[in-house]
Amino acid sequence: MLEPAQSDEIQFRRIARPDPVKVVAVTSGKGGVGKTNTCVNLAIALAKRGKRVMILDADLGLANVDVLLGLQPPFDLSHVLSDQRTLEEIIVEGPEGIQVVPAASGVLDMVRLTDQEHDILIRSFSSLARDIDVLLVDTAAGIADSVTTLASACQEVIVVACNEPAAITDAYALMKVLSLNYGVRKFQILSNRINNTQEGLTLFNKLAIASDRFLDVSLRYLGGIPEDALVRRSIEQQRAVVDAYPGSTAARAMARIAQVVDRWQPDPAAESTNTFFQNLLGQTVNGGQDN
């Protein structure tokens, strides 16, 4: 029979990660810009590069990651929070072995969880017996607390935008809230549905000029995804374009973006996804004190 100390050591070894986990938010100021589709394709493109990737579907009002991939998860986060299922039991596998944590559409708000539910969530991810390299957090669109709190807990924030006045204005508004209210100082800008390279750079420059003038933040251009009819076709097939049409212009662009993301160095202090949820809990508590 193992002594308590030996048992604790074995448990620690089981849940410890050999390398830090890279935690990246994929978000947008406006809906309809292709945020979730971008997240799904980025996940698969990273998996094709040999990375172990997990998507946390955090769009709690309109969970669509499973829909885009044609998955039918029998359980979701609400079953974890109610102690009906473990996190291991709700995870579903997608193309290239990516792992998806399905959200409960319209059922729960992660920012308004009780202390007990937060503890359950943190323990669930801490004890997850799966090693991952990248956790992509697909947030909802907009500047609601459920978006900004999640994004601010991540190491990197990718803001997806289209070259449309409303999309650009809302992307700036999102960065403003994250900067002024949560202290986020760097953003990765991804231009989606562009007609050419220059259009993507123009979008970035518009955001950069406004940010340089009014915000204390650093913007980097992650790249652009061209308008491509095969993206729409892949969505209709409930497949990612990088999987269904890897030779398409959109898929090749996404592969280049995945290469850049792959080079990002994770926070050395982030030894597991537990750190992300500890940050999330801290942001939520602080936010509650400020209001």
Chain segment 198-216, per-residue pLDDT in tens? 999 999 999 999 999 999 9
More confident residue, 8 or 10: 8
- Which residue segment(s) compose the domain that 198 sits in? 24-284
For residue 6, being part of any structural domain is answered with: no
Confidence of residue 291 (pLDDT cuts 50, 70, 90): very low
Q: What is the pLDDT of residue 68?
A: 96
- How far is residue 249's CA from residue 225's CA, in Å, rounded to a whole number? 8
- How far is residue 166's CA from residue 177's CA, in Å, rounded to a whole number? 16
Q: What is the pLDDT of residue 105?
A: 66
Query: 231: which residues sit within 8 A by CB, 6+ positions away?
Result: 34, 37, 241, 248, 250
Q: What is the pLDDT of residue 27?
A: 97
For residue 95, being part of any structural domain is answered with: yes
For residue 17, being part of any structural domain is answered with: no
For residue 161, being part of any structural domain is answered with: yes
Q: What is the pLDDT of residue 275?
A: 64
What value does the mean pLDDT take over residues 134-147? 92
Query: 258: which residues sit within 8 A by CB, 6+ positions away?
Result: 42, 45, 46, 48, 49
Q: What is the pLDDT of residue 109?
A: 63
For residue 9, being part of any structural domain is answered with: no
Q: What is the pLDDT of residue 107?
A: 62
Q: What is the pLDDT of residue 9?
A: 39
Overall domain count for the chain: 1
Confidence of residue 135 (pLDDT cuts 50, 70, 90): very high
For residue 52, being part of any structural domain is answered with: yes
CB 133 within 8 A of CB 163: no
- How far is residue 23's CA from residue 10's CA, in Å, rounded to a whole number? 26
Q: Dump pLDDT digits (tens) for 239-258.
A: 999 999 999 999 999 999 99
- This prediction has a pTM of 0.87
Q: What is the pLDDT of residue 5?
A: 45
What value does the mean pLDDT take over residues 79-96? 91
**CATH code at position 99:** 3.40.50.300
For residue 90, being part of any structural domain is answered with: yes
- For residue 67 the two structure tokens come to 């829909």
For residue 125, being part of any structural domain is answered with: yes
